[in-house]
Structure 1
């Protein structure tokens, strides 16, 4: 099956560069989605995406991998917490970017950690994702019992209000987080971040695209800034991006 016409259409009309993704993985996902919606050719699928906005949203949701949870890999988050304590002043507001934030579990996790370390300090967290649907969910800060199952009990009681099984995140955390649509591949990056957290997304990209993203992350960080990546995303060529290795998944800009 020739996916090139779909790749060209998606880049032009939706603004997502499918050629950045690992092709075998991506094509399997697209074929699976086409089977679900009952189309057998790429031309038919493009026609469906043109005419049905609902199917277009499903396509974007399906492409952007939204597997996430609060405090994902807690032992790694403990390392991250220790690095924050050792590298940054407690009473100084930090500028943080949670890239590919999905439903908001990660930026809210960061907000809880920072509030525990430095209560009352208004750290600024930019939380971005490609998918408007999940960004809208993230902004609401409402989660069901399954979604909050990994939040430690003491933090659940402190930062969430249980309203009949719907858990609402505390407004004092929400006010320090700005949610914004952003494409890691195609869009410009902001600068002067103290911390960038990007976990479990670049694994889906090919190596050239990964390297470009890491290079841009490095430029976006202040000197001494921290990049925190996912549990399967060690950067083997980290020196090429002016990083030193703090731990397996945490890097500091030199």
Structure 2
């Protein structure tokens, strides 16, 4: 079974460019096994052969692999820190912030960034890059329709201002949608853009191996301007932040204070 999973990893990498060996094996294997069993397959080999011929099955694989669990203002007190402490400092340096929401899933995170930033600058001036490996998730993000649970932590004034309720769903305002550009991007394989003032990457790195995390922190550091901020998830504290050129300034916020290469 171990050999078979190793072969599956190789085949997936060759076919899609996704390197599953950089994800924690026990978690990934368990999730993918339950997916193929649910679909009536008995092995990784059977599952791979079916997946490359069936787009729906391939999308289900991507969904399972990328854990598309997201909501607006997730861990709301951290977003309040971003709004009240981090953004005012960044905006003193520039009114045109370059922002990246990395592994953005179905769009709740970049849209939250836009809502928070709208306290300070007009929506027409906000530009956010949002990327994810899962095209299915990106399509949902572009549509911008969400269930009530996704909006649990949204402040009431923001909910009234930027959402329209229809039946049991909430539709996000077109003006917010226009602030975000969605693109497909593989964090573990694709090159990063540079000169960002703020990178938000939350609740994703916990699924990667230590080796992959180390490389990603280096790449995030390289992608930030000096004084730029990396905002991570609530289980993703960076130990030895200084080796990546970071200094912790608030819980889960790291400022780039030096170039590392």
What TM-score, normalized to structure 2?
A: 0.93
Pick from 202, 227, 245 the counterpart of residue 199 of structure 1: 202
With 189-198 and 80-89 compared, the bigger mean Cα shift is at 80-89
In the alignment, structure 1 residue 169 sits paired with structure 2 residue 153: no
Partner residue in 2 for 1:70: 72
Deviation at 1:117, TM superposition (A): 2.4
Give the RMSD, CA atoms, in angstroms: 1.4
Structure-1 residue corresponding to 2:218:
215
Provide the rounded CA distance (Å) in 2 between the counterparts of 1:165 and 1:31. 33
Do the aligned partners of 1:90 and 1:117 also contact (CA within 8 Å) in 2? no
- Are 2:82 and 1:80 aligned? yes
Counterpart secondary structure, 2:157 = helix
SS in 2 for 1:228: strand
Worse overlay, 167-176 or 82-91: 82-91
**Number of residues paired by the alignment?**
254
Deviates more, 1:103-112 or 1:140-149: 140-149
Where in structure 2 are the equivalents of 1:92-131 lying within 5 Å? 92-120=95-123, 122-131=125-134
Q: Deviations over 1:4-44 (max 9, x none)?
A: 11101111112211000001111111111121111112221
Superposed CA deviations along residues 81-121 of structure 1, whole A, max 9, x for unmatched, are 21111332287111100001011000000000000122356
- Is the Cα contact below 8 Å between 2:123 and 2:175 reproduced in 1? no
Give 5+ residue unaligned stretches, structure 2.
none
Q: Which stretches of structure 1, 4 residues or more, deviate above 4 A after TM superposition?
A: none
Taking the TM superposition and a 5 Å limit, the aligned residue runs for 1:22-61 are 22-61=24-63
Mapped partners of 1:105, 1:87: distance in 2? 22
Q: Is the 8 A contact 2:123 2:176 kept in 1?
A: no
User: Is the contact between residue 114 and residue 123 of structure 2 (CA under 8 Å) also seen in structure 1?
Assistant: no
Deviations 1:186-236 (A, max 9, x none): 000000100000000011000110011010000100110000000000000
Q: Deviation of residue 126 (structure 1)? A: 0.2
Cα distance between partner residues in 1 of 2:167 and 2:43: 46
What is the TM-score when the length of structure 1 is the normalising length? Answer: 0.96
Distance 1:166 1:26 in 2: 31
